[in-house]
Structure 1
Amino acid sequence: MSITRREALSVGAGTALLLPGAAMATTASPPPTWRRGLDNQRIADLGDGRFLNPIVSGDRPDPAILKDGADYYMTFSSFDSYPGLVIWHSRDLVNWRPMGPALTRNIGSVWAVSLEKHDGRFFLYIPTKSDPNSIWVIHADRIEGPWSDPIDLHLPNHIDPCHAVGEDGSRWLFLSGGDRIRLAADGLSTVGAVEHVYDPWRYPSDWVVEGFSPEGPKIVRHGGWFYLITAVGGTAGPPTGHMVIAARSRSIHGPWENCPANPLVRTKDETERWWSRGHASLIEGPAGDWWAVYHGYENGFWTLGRQTLLDPVEWTTDGWFRMTGGDLSLPLPKPRGGRAGPSGLALTDRFDTLAMGSKWSFFRPGPNETARARVGGNQLSLKAAGTAPSDSSPLMLIAGDPAYRFECDISIDPGTTAGLILFYDDRLYCGLGFDADRFVMHQYGIERGRPANPHGRAMRLRVTNDRHIVTFDTSGDGGRSWTRFDRGMEVSGYHHNVRGGFLMLRPGLYSAGKGTARFGNFTFRAL
């Protein structure tokens, strides 16, 4: 049986992508597929009472979820992208739409946060990798904001805070490594010192993992127990490393009893659809059923980052719980009782408004970075900065499909260089830019060829990323005719296990040198 490259990379029931050097196995049954939504992007809701993971595609790691009446809110680690911590909304746990960013000031690389509501106020506890590392808190009276300025809690040696309220009303932050610290009654400062309260369960010594790394604690109270859910095994690295474990206690103060069925979630084989599954939260569904939200890498697509997954939960007669969705490769029944709403976000942009945060974000911006960008006349004007994508703080999107195409009209001032890129970080990216006289090719995070540019200071550029095979096309007549640029690329290695940083390969645009670049009629389409 022969299969095409695209079929081989569409991993699902009946098709398996193995790691390099392994054999490809197929059966006659077709893989499940997604419905298509805005810009032909895949959406989880299949429209027949079922859904197919991911519920939020692309780089949406470390999901922090909150139930507030009939509404669900979720946000994700935003790392070096600002505005960051975009709040997403759902009524059924499957269909999600972004509302807007909660964090606008650059306080460092934002890791796994805790999103909570306490006494009518919303809180975000934010760990950052910065100089020095710390944990911050912001708050708002309404989930839409405005959110307060960040307050530094001065906790330099921990990540992944989780807000919890004890049976006595005390407020706590549970931290990585099995530690915790008490919060003041208003939740805006700490009381006392960090204390160690829990020794996480350890997996067998011969398992293939990235490292022990107990992190991502999440606390939920149910049926007279506090459940402490933790990630161990490392976040990336081998697909079989990351996993979910649980412990419980009658009191927020312990002692904690490890679940006898640990681990509750783990990728066991590299042929599974989702790799490195972990960092879970439990959440009650609209009809009182229970679900787990966690992240995972899509088989063969580390470049897409960690995507958000939904797994049904069953409570057992002994007071524990288990996940019942298997490897999440097949469609599952949707949560009962929820009201489906709009799903996803259109990435095509006519630039009638500047959708900062919800759509576009700067990479590692300076204090006044947003002043570089403005819209008018259905164009985005982006003032030049730096000399290349590496130091110009490009504007980026999150694309959640394995294959897509994006294109844009670009015009530049004398002295400006601008273009379209696929950007992992400031040392690993690719793309095509131009100045008035020459193209500039970006590859491996460096600037390479400088062939002549026949179009001058205005052209339309197109980038196609077809499952890691990248091609560029240029047009001097607004897209009526195209010329293939004579340099294609393969980018499957542009990801965390090569470069570190826990990021994803993002479509973006940049403006460097002097003057201003103007971008218009930006279109995106998943393939």
Structure 2
Amino acid sequence: MDISRRDAFAAALAGSAAALIRPDGAAAEARKPAPDWKRGFDNQRIADLGNGKFLNPLLSGDRADPAILKDGSDYYMTFSSFDSYPGLTIWHSRDLVNWQPRRAALTKNIGSVWAVSLEKHNDRYFLYIPVKAKPNSIFVIWADHIDGPWSDPIDLQMPSHIDPCHVVGEDGSRWLFLSGGDRIRLAADGLSTVGEAEHVYDPWRYPDDWEVEGFAPEGPKLVRHGDWFYMITAVGGTAGPPTGHMVIAARSRSIHGPWENCPANPLVHTRSVNEKWWSRGHASLVEAPDGSWWSLYHGFENGYWTLGRQALLDPIEWTKDGWFRMKGGDLSQPIRKPKGGAALPHGQPLSDDFGAALQLGRKWNFFKPAPDENRRQRVEDGALVLKASGTAPSNSAPLLLIAGDQAYQFECDVEIAPGGTAGLLLFYDEKLYCGLGFDEKRFVTHQYGIERGRPANPHGRRMRMRVTNNRHVISFHTSSDGGQTWKRFDRGMEVSGYHHNVRGGFLMLRPGLYSAGEGEARFRDFRFRAL
């Protein structure tokens, strides 16, 4: 980007930031960015405040169902990647607060990937992967190095369960604990099951008058600490009412039970819609470099279901009776970091000059790709060349990013071939998205997942496009001189309803690119900046 274009971009961002919507009321106050969030690549918010404290979210954007592994002085974590491929990107940290993406472990589309288990056993890494498909099942992949290569998925033929957690018993036996309080034994190599699933635990139940989505005991995470195995489970439903999701615990001296419920359950529970974080649950426990203990779980940010479930970090303490409790309260305030461990630069730039091979999995993902989807893309001469597919974003497998800020702007130079259609999107799924595209003669307005207005396109087959998501208020701008001057497109939108509680699927509203119709589209100089 040359200096004049960069300055114009910065000026536009400054103007948009000055115009941010400022809602009133207690709940609205919780939705405002904390004044002391630090900023990283592309002005994205980061947790580490640089003063020995951090402010949640640990990882912003859709980082649901965190699965964490302590491997010596290294920590690895991944999240549910749902219909995005390559999926199950592995993130790396040495201090539990600053994280960098490495590589995606799953490249073959096996369905919608939900809460996984990331484990290491006998110097081999394993990912146990529940998928929603036809039929549902649980798969396993393995690797001898965290960066792979990872094996092809192996189907464990388990259509009736989700959310596996690998654990090794005191007798060396290997197990998957499952949703609903069930478990199944694994073979010694961890690549097949032995026998049938059995019910071993009846989870604690909340009072009947609590506002929840449903009982739904799921996401068991097990850890051995001292003389006990601890099982942490989510109940109350993952979404729905903000007060539904919660964390409970049980323990046993043997992997074979019996299990006793914690007398302090629930250990985490959003009790008011005025809290900063809603629907908190799916917790894991992990030991920090300084020997302190922490819990990783997810939650929705107050007023921002559109960002999906974000990763949260909560300090815990072990109590004299052998249980533990969370110490972070509602996580709205800064928390002192664990000590030790070298801090890595957090996150990654979302801007892309397409000067090297596309960072598939690490940054970009296809949505519901076909087996040969990767053949559609190549990078040449500073451009992402994306072969057209389908007729609209709904059937074109768009390329998407995870953006975790409440307000942001992105722009890109877009050039189409004769007969092609391309543009920029905010994409939830194939039935719910918005954006702006164009062909040689007309724009195409995307709203509610359908194609609406078709005004004349004065730019021809190439233009620069810009999308602003200003706390759910969307505006579009176009430019014919590479971003020196901009014209506002005559269609604005509001997208606060583009989320799971409307559409289902547990996804988030993501920035993206699409190429449909005929020929190839060329995308150059993609620029992202949080506001």
TM-score, normalized by the shorter chain, greater than 0.5: yes
Alignment match of 1:17 (pick from 11, 27, 30): 27
Q: Given that residues 305 and 502 in structure 1 are in contact (C-alpha distance below 8 angstroms), is that contact kept between their aligned partners in structure 2? A: yes
Query: How far apart are the structure 2 equivalents of 1:407 and 1:154?
Result: 44
Alignment partner, residue 86 of structure 1: 89
C-alpha deviation, 1:338, in angstroms: 2.1
Query: How far apart are the structure 1 equivalents of 2:161 and 2:239?
Result: 19
Letter in 2 for 1:442: H
Alignment match of 2:389 (pick from 385, 388, 393): 385
Query: How far apart are the structure 1 equivalents of 2:225 and 2:22?
Result: 44
CA shift digits 1:28-48 (9 cap, x unpaired): x99443100100000000000
Alignment match of 2:309 (pick from 292, 296, 306): 306
CA shift digits 1:166-202 (9 cap, x unpaired): 0000000000000000000000000000000000000
SS of the residue corresponding to residue 371 of structure 1 reads: helix
Say whether 1:487 aligns with 2:491.
Answer: yes
Decide whether aligned partners of structure 1 residues 25 and 57 sit closer, same or farther in structure 2, where only a CA change above 3 A counts: closer
Query: How far apart are the structure 2 equivalents of 1:279 and 1:114?
Result: 12
Query: How far apart are the structure 1 equivalents of 2:518 and 2:191?
Result: 43
Alignment match of 1:114 (pick from 111, 117, 139): 117
Say whether 1:259 aligns with 2:262.
Answer: yes
CA RMSD of aligned residues (A): 1.5
CA shift digits 1:95-117 (9 cap, x unpaired): 00100100000000000000000
Runs of 4+ deviating beyond 4 Å: 29-32
Say whether 1:282 aligns with 2:285.
Answer: yes
Alignment match of 1:398 (pick from 381, 395, 402): 402
Alignment partner, residue 178 of structure 2: 175
Say whether 1:70 aligns with 2:73.
Answer: yes
Alignment partner, residue 12 of structure 1: none
SS of the residue corresponding to residue 17 of structure 1 reads: helix
Q: Extract unaligned runs of 5+ from structure 2.
A: 1-17
Query: How far apart are the structure 1 equivalents of 2:314 and 2:76?
Result: 17
Q: Given that residues 72 and 90 in structure 1 are in contact (C-alpha distance below 8 angstroms), is that contact kept between their aligned partners in structure 2? A: yes
1:308-387 maps to which residues of 2 (within 5 A)?
Answer: 308-353=311-356, 354-387=358-391
1:403-418 maps to which residues of 2 (within 5 A)?
Answer: 403-418=407-422
Say whether 1:155 aligns with 2:158.
Answer: yes
SS of the residue corresponding to residue 370 of structure 1 reads: helix
Alignment partner, residue 39 of structure 1: 42
Decide whether aligned partners of structure 1 residues 131 and 488 sit closer, same or farther in structure 2, where only a CA change above 3 A counts: same
SS of the residue corresponding to residue 253 of structure 1 reads: coil
Aligned residues: 513
Query: How far apart are the structure 2 equivalents of 1:228 and 1:472?
Result: 48
SS of the residue corresponding to residue 172 of structure 2 reads: coil
Q: Given that residues 32 and 330 in structure 1 are in contact (C-alpha distance below 8 angstroms), is that contact kept between their aligned partners in structure 2? A: no
Alignment match of 2:242 (pick from 227, 230, 239): 239
Alignment partner, residue 127 of structure 1: 130
Letter in 1 for 2:343: A
Q: Given that residues 126 and 142 in structure 2 are in contact (C-alpha distance below 8 angstroms), is that contact kept between their aligned partners in structure 1? A: yes
Query: How far apart are the structure 2 equivalents of 1:450 and 1:117?
Result: 54
Query: How far apart are the structure 2 equivalents of 1:340 and 1:67?
Result: 16
Say whether 1:447 aligns with 2:451.
Answer: yes
Query: How far apart are the structure 1 equivalents of 2:304 and 2:140?
Result: 33
Say whether 1:511 aligns with 2:521.
Answer: no
Letter in 1 for 2:149: P
Query: How far apart are the structure 1 equivalents of 2:481 and 2:453?
Result: 24
Alignment partner, residue 222 of structure 2: 219
Q: Given that residues 218 and 281 in structure 1 are in contact (C-alpha distance below 8 angstroms), is that contact kept between their aligned partners in structure 2? A: yes
Query: How far apart are the structure 2 equivalents of 1:34 and 1:417?
Result: 39
Query: How far apart are the structure 1 equivalents of 2:367 and 2:34?
Result: 36
C-alpha deviation, 1:17, in angstroms: 1.8
Query: How far apart are the structure 1 equivalents of 2:134 and 2:271?
Result: 37
Decide whether aligned partners of structure 1 residues 464 and 145 sit closer, same or farther in structure 2, where only a CA change above 3 A counts: same
C-alpha deviation, 1:345, in angstroms: 1.1
Q: Given that residues 180 and 196 in structure 1 are in contact (C-alpha distance below 8 angstroms), is that contact kept between their aligned partners in structure 2? A: yes
Decide whether aligned partners of structure 1 residues 25 and 251 sit closer, same or farther in structure 2, where only a CA change above 3 A counts: closer
Alignment match of 1:466 (pick from 460, 466, 470): 470
Query: How far apart are the structure 2 equivalents of 1:526 and 1:252?
Result: 46
Query: How far apart are the structure 2 equivalents of 1:30 and 1:177?
Result: 37
Alignment match of 1:432 (pick from 425, 429, 436): 436
Say whether 1:423 aligns with 2:427.
Answer: yes
Alignment match of 2:501 (pick from 497, 505, 510): 497
Letter in 1 for 2:86: P
C-alpha deviation, 1:352, in angstroms: 1.5
Decide whether aligned partners of structure 1 residues 31 and 435 sit closer, same or farther in structure 2, where only a CA change above 3 A counts: closer
Letter in 1 for 2:168: V
Say whether 1:249 aligns with 2:252.
Answer: yes
Q: Given that residues 8 and 17 in structure 1 are in contact (C-alpha distance below 8 angstroms), is that contact kept between their aligned partners in structure 2? A: no
Say whether 1:199 aligns with 2:202.
Answer: yes
Q: Extract unaligned runs of 5+ from structure 1.
A: 10-14, 19-23
Letter in 1 for 2:50: G
Q: Given that residues 273 and 327 in structure 1 are in contact (C-alpha distance below 8 angstroms), is that contact kept between their aligned partners in structure 2? A: yes
Query: How far apart are the structure 1 equivalents of 2:400 and 2:182?
Result: 36
Q: Identity over the aligned pairs, expressed in percent?
A: 75
TM-score w.r.t. length of structure 1: 0.96
Letter in 2 for 1:454: P
Alignment partner, residue 187 of structure 1: 190
CA shift digits 1:351-380 (9 cap, x unpaired): 112100010000000000000010011100
C-alpha deviation, 1:223, in angstroms: 1.2
Query: How far apart are the structure 2 equivalents of 1:506 and 1:339?
Result: 31
Alignment partner, residue 21 of structure 1: none
SS of the residue corresponding to residue 422 of structure 2 reads: strand
Query: How far apart are the structure 2 equivalents of 1:506 and 1:260?
Result: 41
TM-score w.r.t. length of structure 2: 0.95
Query: How far apart are the structure 1 equivalents of 2:23 and 2:320?
Result: 42
Alignment partner, residue 50 of structure 1: 53
Query: How far apart are the structure 1 equivalents of 2:379 and 2:114?
Result: 31
